[in-house]
């Protein structure tokens, strides 16, 4: 009988406890949880359920509202967002979802030409205004633009860019370049505000060299500069048509004339002379060769000039007499005397 009485008392205690508890529903950012609590306020009920509420979270009803049976408590958790701007990274919690609103909440105002990178996707200031977000992004990176001046020949253009170097800035701006065009400073130079970028446009040229016709583009105020940019250089006595110091012009034809020289050795004979002596023993008009003449020999050093493989001139640089000529000796009969 005593045991039954104790059990009955305990059961009655449970019934009373159950009847005196308040049942509420917790909606934590869409996650539904039903709890039974003896708390008398919303905050006490959350503490009783071990629900941590951050300062940026929104609780409805308000935390100090009295608890009512069957009440639904809504907790809208704040989003954790990493915001990077001006080299500084902030880890913030916010109820806002649009990147521009989140930036504004942090006191950050993008410029008209800035890029807003949201979770790895780039938006212009204008385009991001056309998008909406159901939930806040995880990362927002504001990339500030700078103003540079592009001098493209006679054209001057102000360019706003958020790219890191000159090459990317020109490409993003849609400025087409040929491989032979020259950009100063070069493509890899980091972009800085107020920078002046100069573009020296190349000209289409045709180069005739070494038996080949090369159609290409070259940059430079003179023919010599253009050939140097292409990688073709006159060597030694080589010359060009037009000359190296001539101004480059579009669609110009440049001929590189290769000049070579060679020295050859040639031999030529030196004619001998004849010496005549009278010989009374010979009849009138009779001749007799006493000693045959021997021609001499001369060695010539000749410099020959070739242009594109064809001989255009030759010049004797040196002469050497190897053998002197020996005169021919001839005896002849004297004329008949007048008495003969």
Domain boundaries along the sequence of the chain: 2-76, 79-143, 148-200, 203-257, 261-332
User: What dotted CATH number matches 148-200?
Assistant: 3.10.20
Spatial distance between the Cα atoms of 218 and 194, rounded to a whole number of angstroms: 29
The pTM of the full predicted model, rounded to 2 decimals, is 0.55
Residue range 261-332, CATH number: 2.20.230.10
Burial (CB count <10 Å: 0-12, 13-18, 19+), residue 220: buried
With CA atoms as reference, report the closest residue to 82 among 136, 162, 163, 28. 136
Question: 203-257 sits in which CATH class?
Answer: alpha beta
Instruction: Determine contact, residues 232/208, Cβ cutoff 8 Å.
Output: no
**CB contact at 8 A, 115 and 129:** no
CA dist., res. 197 & res. 194, Å (int): 10
Q: Which of 279, 232, 274 is nearest to 256 (CA)?
A: 232
Model confidence pLDDT, tens digit, residues 71-130: 999 999 999 999 999 889 999 999 999 999 999 999 999 999 999 999 999 999 999 999
Given a cut of 70, whether residue 335 has pLDDT beyond it is no
Residue 180 scores a pLDDT above 70: yes
Is residue 189 within 8 A of residue 180, CB to CB? The reply is no
Assess whether pLDDT exceeds 90 at residue 147.
yes
Q: Which CATH architecture has domain 79-143?
A: Roll (3.10)
């Amino acid at each position: 009988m005593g045991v039954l009485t104790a059990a009955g008392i305990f059961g009655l205690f449970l019934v009373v406890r159950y009847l005196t508890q308040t049942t509420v529903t917790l909606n934590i950012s869409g996650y539904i949880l039903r709890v039974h609590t003896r708390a008398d306020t919303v905050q006490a009920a959350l503490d009783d359920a071990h629900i941590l509420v951050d300062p940026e979270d929104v609780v409805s009803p308000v935390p100090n509202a009295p608890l009512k049976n069957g009440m639904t408590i809504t907790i809208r958790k704040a989003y954790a967002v990493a915001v990077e701007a001006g080299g500084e990274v902030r880890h913030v919690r916010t109820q806002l979802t649009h990147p521009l609103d989140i930036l504004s909440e942090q006191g950050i105002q993008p410029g008209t030409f800035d890029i807003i990178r949201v979770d790895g996707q780039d938006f212009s200031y204008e385009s991001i205004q056309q998008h909406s977000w159901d939930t806040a992004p995880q990362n927002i990176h504001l990339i500030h633009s700078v103003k540079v001046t592009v001098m493209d020949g006679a054209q001057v253009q102000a360019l706003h860019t958020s790219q890191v170097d000159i090459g990317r800035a020109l490409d993003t701006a849609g400025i087409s370049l040929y491989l032979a065009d020259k950009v100063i400073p070069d493509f890899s130079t980091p972009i800085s505000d107020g920078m002046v970028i100069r573009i020296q446009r190349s000209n289409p040229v045709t180069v005739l060299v070494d038996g080949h016709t090369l159609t290409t583009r070259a940059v430079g105020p003179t023919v010599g500069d253009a050939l140097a940019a292409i990688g073709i250089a006159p060597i030694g006595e080589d010359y060009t048509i037009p000359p190296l110091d001539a101004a480059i012009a579009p669609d110009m034809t440049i001929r590189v004339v290769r000049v070579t020289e060679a020295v050859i050795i040639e031999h030529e004979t030196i004619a001998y002379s004849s010496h005549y002596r009278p010989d009374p023993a010979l009849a009138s008009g009779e001749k007799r060769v006493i000693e045959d003449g021997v021609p001499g020999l001369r060695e010539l050093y000749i410099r020959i000039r070739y242009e594109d493989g064809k001989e255009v001139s030759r010049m004797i640089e040196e002469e050497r007499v190897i053998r002197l000529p020996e005169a021919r000796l001839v005896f002849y009969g004297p004329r008949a005397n007048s008495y003969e």
